[in-house]
Amino acid sequence: MSLIHALVAQGSTILAEHQGGERDFSQATQTILSKIPPNNSKLTYVWEQYLFHYISEGGYIYLCMADDSAGRRMPFAFLTELQQKFTSAALPSSSSSFPPAYALQGSFGPVIAQLMNTYNTSPPSDELTRAQSELAQVKNIMVQNVEQILSRGERIELLVDKTDNMASQATAFRRGAKTVRRSMWWKNTRVLALSGLVGLTFVWLIVAQFCGAGLNQCGSKH
């Protein structure tokens, strides 16, 4: 629980308050109220491990006690909203310039309690916090985009590698095809040459049977 105690006072007279913890801080609260000057001011008092933040304006004091871990931004945002609610709904009439202590406890005490609960459970983000949150979201989006670009780059590199491999394989295939064609051409040429030689030998053998080995007998008969 960040906010522990909150009140609205006129001078040192408490008009309404709400205390979230079990410990009684009334003595410390009265001491701090007595030290707050009558002029408009904003200040933080340190007491033990707690911080007392206040806004003094128009004769009214809006004060809250919070843990040190709560910082100053959230408690003062709470006091600003508390002041707005008080001035718009709970200001005493002009006929009672000096109301008695706890005159507004029944009507405004629950308002303080509800507002404290809201800020302790889910405090509304102020402009700086909202800007930081938006900046963090933009950063996350940028990181995601960069990761996607890097991933796309890796895929492009893989595609280029595959394309290069395919080109290399195609070149090797063409070279292999040329080698095979050349080899087949030589084989066909050798087969044709051998076939021609065999044919010529076969024709010579036939002719030699009638004309002799030197083919001279056929000529002598004429």
Tell how far CA 100 is from the center of its chain: 55
Domain boundary pick from 124, 145, 168: 124
Measured distance CA(193)–CA(120) in Å, rounded: 104
- State yes or no: pLDDT of 127 exceeds 60: no
CB neighbours (10 Å) of residue 153?
Answer: 10
Mean pLDDT value of segment 170-177: 72
Going by C-alpha positions, the residue among 106, 101, 8, 126 that lies closest to residue 59 is: 8
- State yes or no: pLDDT of 196 exceeds 70: yes
Which residues form the domain of 73? 3-124
61 bridge partner residues: 9, 56
pTM equals 0.56
Measured distance CA(53)–CA(29) in Å, rounded: 11
Query: Do 116 and 11 share a domain, yes or no?
Result: yes
- Examine residue 106 and state whether it is found in any structural domain, yes or no: yes
CATH code, domain carrying 102:
3.30.450.50
User: For the chain, where are the alpha helices, taking DSSP H only?
Assistant: 26-35, 73-89, 105-121, 127-211, 217-221
Query: Do 114 and 184 share a domain, yes or no?
Result: no
Instruction: Look up residue 125 and give its DSSP letter.
Output: P
- Examine residue 18 and state whether it is found in any structural domain, yes or no: yes
- Examine residue 84 and state whether it is found in any structural domain, yes or no: yes
Query: Do 35 and 111 share a domain, yes or no?
Result: yes
Q: How many domains are there within the chain?
A: 2
Determine the pLDDT at residue 132: 61
pLDDT in tens, 62-103: 999 998 888 888 899 999 999 999 998 766 554 456 789 999
Determine the pLDDT at residue 133: 62
Measured distance CA(79)–CA(117) in Å, rounded: 13
Query: Do 97 and 196 share a domain, yes or no?
Result: no
Within 13 Å and on the Cβ side, how many CA atoms surround 38? 1
**For all residues of the chain together, what is the average pLDDT?**
79
- State yes or no: pLDDT of 116 exceeds 50: yes
